[in-house]
């Protein structure tokens, strides 16, 4: 039998490969380079956020302030935030199927994400808009 190498994908599954060809190594380098480019682009992507609130209630004003502060700190210069009062623009809320407020919707970059609450939990906010991995 030829030489083999073991690649562990996760704790439940492992893959054995017999001799890695030069073509496959080149493909792996290309995939790694593409991944690194995508990660670098992610750091420059513009975030389009919509915050749906209910008037100027304490929870709404807290959500607005929290989102603005978090965006200034973590998305400086690369975000667009639109605050929508669902009392004044109910059609927009209905179109987005808003069932609770405050609700933050991350339109871009994809995938679309929804967060409900006053955004006082920084960790939850960063994970929710995909700025931070879930378990870090």
Residues 5-29: tens digit of each pLDDT: 333 333 333 333 344 455 555 555 6
**Is 135 part of any domain?**
no
CATH of the domain at 71: 3.40.30.10
Residues 57 and 98 in one domain: yes
How confident is residue 40, by pLDDT bands cut at 50, 70 and 90? Answer: low
Q: pLDDT tens digit string along 96-132?
A: 999 999 999 999 999 999 999 999 999 999 999 999 9
Q: Number of structural domains, the chain?
A: 2
Same domain, 96 and 116: yes
Same domain assignment for residues 53 and 117: yes
Spatial separation of the C-alpha atoms in residues 60 and 51, rounded to whole Å? 9
Sheet architecture: strand order including 113-116: 79-85, 47-53, 103-108, 113-116
């Amino acid at each position: 039998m030829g030489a083999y190498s073991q690649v562990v994908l996760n704790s439940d599954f492992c893959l054995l490969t017999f001799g890695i060809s030069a073509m496959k190594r080149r493909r792996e380098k290309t995939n790694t380079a593409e991944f690194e480019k995508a990660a670098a682009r992610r750091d420059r992507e513009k975030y389009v956020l919509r915050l749906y609130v209910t008037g100027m209630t304490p929870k709404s004003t807290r959500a607005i302030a929290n989102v603005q502060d978090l965006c200034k700190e973590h998305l400086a210069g690369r975000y667009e935030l639109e605050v929508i009062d669902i009392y004044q623009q109910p059609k927009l809320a209905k179109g987005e199927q808003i069932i609770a407020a405050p609700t933050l919707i991350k339109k871009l970059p994809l995938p679309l994400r929804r967060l409900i609450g006053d955004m006082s939990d920084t960790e939850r906010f960063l994970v929710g808009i995909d700025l931070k991995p879930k378990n870090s």
